Structure formats: structure tokens, C-alpha cells
Amino acid sequence: MNDQAIVIRSFNPNDIEQVVEMLQSISTFKPDHSKFKELAATFVQNSYCFASVAESQEQVIGFGSIFILDRIRGGRSAIVEDVVVHETARRMGIGRLIVRNLLERAQEENCFKASLVTANHNIPFYESLGFAVDHQEMSVYLKQS
């Protein structure tokens, strides 16, 4: 796979199955397959969410998304989510292409910063893209109805 064979484009609902399959490598959560179409349609209709996929030979090999937040004191920020590359295509610069594409979109949306949560072993990757460790993340997982 070379750089010319990789296209970064906007996510579309037809990508959902391949994206969910890739996300399984970084998360145990898997949505009900019968809801994929509905989830994808809702996702692309959200005006505060933008997602990109990397595609090669008509296969989705990478994904990432950003959510734009309007801040109470003014300004906008972006949260980078779910950056993943198919295990057979890792270490080829695809994640870098996806993140750069998402950051360009955040810039177009006049965001003053972009932030993300990542595993410790991914910190050097994100630092190479200009991110810096800033604060600690805390989570509470809520019961789903």
C-alpha cells in the first residue's frame, strides 16, 4: 500500500460496518448490528461532528472523528475521538493523515484547540502531531437504559 493508493474522505453511512469492525480492536463496545444504519445516519446528520476515513482499494482502513464544542466563554474547541487504523495497515502514516485531516477541519471551524484522550503508548504519536500532555482525564461510566 503506498500513499497514492490511500484516499482520505468524509465518512458516509455505507462505511459503518467496516468502521465498527476496526473500532473493536480498541474498544469492547459493539452496537447492535440491526441499528447500524440508524446510528450512521444520526452520526452524519450531527452538525457538530465530522468524521474521516482512509480508504484504499475500496476498503476502509482508517477512521477518526472530531466533535466541535461551543464554549460558554466563547470560542470553539474540538475533541478528537476514535482514531483507528486497520491492523494490517498500521505504521504506514495513515493515522497521521487522518489526524491532520481532522485538525484541518477543526481549524476551518475556528477551534482554538483540539484535545483527545489516548493510551499511554500512543502519547509519542500524538506529540509528533503537535499535541502535548495537559491535565488528567477522568471518566465515570453511566448505566445505559
Residues 123 and 133 sit within 8 Å (Cβ to Cβ): yes
State whether the Cα torsion 15-21-24-25 is positive or negative: negative
Over range 112-141, report the average pLDDT.
92
| pTM for this model (two decimals) | 0.88
Residue with cell 484547540: 113
Nearest to 82 by CA among 24, 42, 15: 24
Q: Where does the pLDDT of residue 135 fall: very low under 50, low under 70, confident under 90, or very high at 90 and above?
A: confident
pLDDT averaged over every residue in the chain: 91
Which CATH architecture fits 3-127? 3-Layer(aba) Sandwich (3.40)
DSSP state of 90: T
pLDDT in tens, 25-61: 888 887 787 888 888 888 888 889 999 999 999 999 9
Alpha helices in the chain (DSSP H): 16-23, 36-45, 94-108, 123-127
Quick check: 3 pLDDT over 70? no
Question: What pLDDT was estimated at residue 138?
Answer: 79
> Which residue's entry shows cell 490511500?
6
Chain-centre distance of CA 26, in angstroms? 12
For residue range 93-125, list pLDDT tens digits in order.
Answer: 999 999 999 999 999 999 999 999 999 999 999
